[in-house]
C-alpha cells in the first residue's frame, strides 16, 4: 500500500495548522533538538579547555545560556498543544510569550553579571595565564586548543541560525526568532574569544578581559532586546511581525476584507498577538445603522478566519462609530 504524501496536521489548542506550517513546525522542532545536541558537544569542549581565560569563561557561560531558547521553544510548543479549558478559555498560546520572557530575563541577568565580573578583572589588573598541556605525548600551549575549539564551533550556529530565521518567519514564532538571532551572532563570540586568548599569548593581558566584556555586552544586548519584545507582547502591544520591525500586515488584511462586505460602512480591528496566532476584535459600522443578522455575522467571522491561518479567534462587534483606538 502506498504511503500518503499528506502531512498529518498538528493542532495548537483548537487551531489546526495548515500542511505547510505543520511541516515547518516539525522541521523547527528537529532543528532545536539538533541545536541542543550541538550545544552539549560545544559546551563540553569549551569546558575542557577553559583554563584561566576570562573570555573563555564568558564564551562557556554563553553556551550554557544558549540552551534556554531551544528548551523554551520545545516546552512552549508542548504546552501550546493543550486544548482550552474552563480555567483557561483562551487556551495556552501565551506559553510562547512566557518562554520568550524567561529566556530574555536569563540572558539579561547573566550578561550583566559577566560584565561586572569581567570589568572587576580588567580594572584590578589581573594577569591571566595559560599553561601547557600534554597531548598525545606532545607538550603544547593550551591557548592553541582554545583557539581551535572556538574556530571549529563558530560556523555551524551561524548556518543553523539562518535556517531557523526562515522557519520563525513562517511560524510567526518569536522564541524561535530570538534563538536564531543568537545563533547568527555566535561567530562574534568566537572571534572575540580568539582575540582574548591571543592577547594573553602576546602578553596583552587586558585583551582577555576586554573580549569577555564584549561577549557579555552581546549577551546583554540580546537579552534586553528580547525582554522588551516579550514584555510588550504580554502587555498586548499591537501585533507586529515576528522580528518586531513593523505592524503585522494581517491587521490591514482583515480590515480590508471587512470593508469589502456590502453591509459594512467602516471597520477597524484590535489584534492581540497570542504567540503563533492572533485574537482579533473587529469593530464594524453597519450601513444605514441596520444591524446584521446572526448568520451574516457568522459568515463575516468565518471570512476573517479564512484570510490567514494565524487568525485564531475573531469577535465581530457592530457599533455606531469606531472606537478611538483601533
| pLDDT (0 to 100) of residue 1 | 40
Task: Give a three-class secondary structure readout of 276-301.
Answer: CCEEEEEEEEEHHHCCCCHHHHHHHH
pLDDT digits (tens, 9 = 90+) for 48-92: 888 888 888 888 888 888 898 899 899 988 888 888 888 888 888
- The third-level CATH classification (topology) of the domain covering 249-318 is GMP Synthetase; Chain A, domain 3 (3.30.300)
pLDDT digits (tens, 9 = 90+) for 102-152: 888 888 888 888 888 888 877 887 777 777 777 777 778 888 888 898 898
Confidence of residue 4 (pLDDT cuts 50, 70, 90): very low
Whole-model pTM: value is 0.83
Residue ranges covered by each domain of the chain: 11-234, 249-318
The rounded percent of the chain whose pLDDT value lies above 70 is 97
* Structure letter (DSSP) for residue 153: T
| Residues 48/244, Cβ–Cβ less than 8 Å | no
Rounded mean pLDDT, 218-227:
86
Equal fold, 11-234 vs 249-318? no
pLDDT digits (tens, 9 = 90+) for 5-57: 456 777 777 778 888 899 999 999 999 999 999 999 999 999 988 888 888 88
**E strands, the chain, in order:** 11-12, 15-16, 132-135, 138-141, 264-273, 278-286, 311-318
Rounded mean pLDDT, 295-321:
93
The chain-wide mean pLDDT, for the chain, equals: 86
| CA separation, residue 86 to residues 11, 46, 53 (Å) | 19, 48, 54
Confidence of residue 281 (pLDDT cuts 50, 70, 90): very high
Rounded mean pLDDT, 259-273:
94
- The third-level CATH classification (topology) of the domain covering 11-234 is Alpha-lytic protease prodomain-like (1.20.1510)
Amino acid at each position: 500500500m502506498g504511503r500518503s504524501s499528506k502531512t498529518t496536521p498538528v493542532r495548537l489548542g483548537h487551531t489546526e495548522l495548515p500542511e505547510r506550517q505543520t511541516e515547518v513546525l516539525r522541521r523547527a522542532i528537529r532543528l532545536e533538538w539538533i541545536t541542543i545536541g550541538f550545544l552539549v558537544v560545544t559546551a563540553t569542549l569549551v569546558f575542557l579547555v577553559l583554563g584561566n581565560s576570562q573570555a573563555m569563561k564568558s564564551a562557556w557561560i554563553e553556551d550554557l545560556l544558549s540552551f534556554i531558547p531551544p528548551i523554551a521553544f520545545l516546552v512552549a510548543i508542548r504546552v501550546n498543544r493543550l486544548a482550552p479549558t474552563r480555567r483557561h478559555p483562551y487556551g495556552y498560546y501565551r506559553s510562547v510569550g512566557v518562554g520568550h520572557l524567561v529566556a530574555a530575563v536569563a540572558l539579561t541577568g547573566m550578561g550583566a553579571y559577566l560584565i561586572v565580573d569581567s570589568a572587576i578583572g580588567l580594572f584590578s589588573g589581573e594577569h591571566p595565564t595559560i599553561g601547557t598541556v600534554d597531548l598525545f605525548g606532545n607538550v603544547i600551549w593550551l591557548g592553541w586548543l582554545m583557539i581551535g575549539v572556538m574556530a571549529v564551533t563558530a560556523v555551524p550556529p551561524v548556518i543553523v541560525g539562518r535556517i531557523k530565521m526562515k522557519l520563525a518567519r513562517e511560524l510567526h514564532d518569536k522564541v524561535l526568532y530570538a534563538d536564531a538571532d543568537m545563533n547568527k551572532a555566535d561567530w562574534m563570540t568566537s572571534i572575540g574569544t580568539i582575540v582574548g586568548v591571543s592577547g594573553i599569548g602576546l602578553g596583552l593581558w587586558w585583551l582577555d578581559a576586554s573580549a569577555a566584556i564584549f561577549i557579555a555586552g552581546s549577551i546583554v544586548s540580546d537579552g534586553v532586546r528580547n525582554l522588551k519584545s516579550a514584555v510588550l507582547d504580554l502587555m498586548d502591544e499591537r501585533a507586529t511581525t515576528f522580528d518586531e520591525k513593523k505592524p503585522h500586515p494581517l491587521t490591514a488584511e482583515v480590515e480590508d476584507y471587512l470593508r469589502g462586505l456590502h453591509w459594512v460602512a467602516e471597520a477597524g480591528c484590535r489584534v492581540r498577538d497570542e504567540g503563533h496566532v492572533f485574537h482579533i476584535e473587529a469593530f464594524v459600522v453597519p450601513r444605514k445603522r441596520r444591524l446584521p443578522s446572526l448568520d451574516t455575522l457568522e459568515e463575516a467571522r468565518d471570512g476573517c478566519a479564512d484570510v490567514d491561518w494565524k487568525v485564531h479567534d475573531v469577535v465581530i462587534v457592530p457599533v455606531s462609530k469606531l472606537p478611538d483606538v483601533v
